[in-house]
Amino acid sequence: MFKKITNIFYLFFFFIFFILIFIFYFSEQNIINTNKFVSFNYMNKDFENNLPIIKNDTKDIIEYTDGVENFKNNKKKYKFYDLLDK
């Protein structure tokens, strides 16, 4: 009996939580604040024009080795694959 009451209690708070979130998210005040924030950030794009351009210093940073070829050559040969070929 006690377990059923606690489950109902948890279920009640679960639904209340999502109902309150839904009400807040679709409220008129939240929509207005979101639109203000987006329009303010859209209008203030001057910071993108003032960014410094950094010189690319990543040339020849990757060393290509034949490690994969070495791995393939040193890999143990299994006889099971010979059975599949026939």
pLDDT for residue 6: 95
> What pLDDT digit, counting tens, does each position of 5-62 carry?
999 999 999 999 999 999 999 999 999 999 998 887 776 667 667 778 888 888 878 8
CA angle 14, 19, 21 (to 5 degrees): 95
Domain ranges of the chain: 1-46
pLDDT for residue 86: 59
Q: Whole-angstrom Cα distance, residue 21 to residue 15?
A: 10
Helix, coil or strand: residue 75? coil
Residue 24 CB partners (closer than 8 Å, separation 6+): 30
pTM of the model: 0.43
pLDDT for residue 51: 77
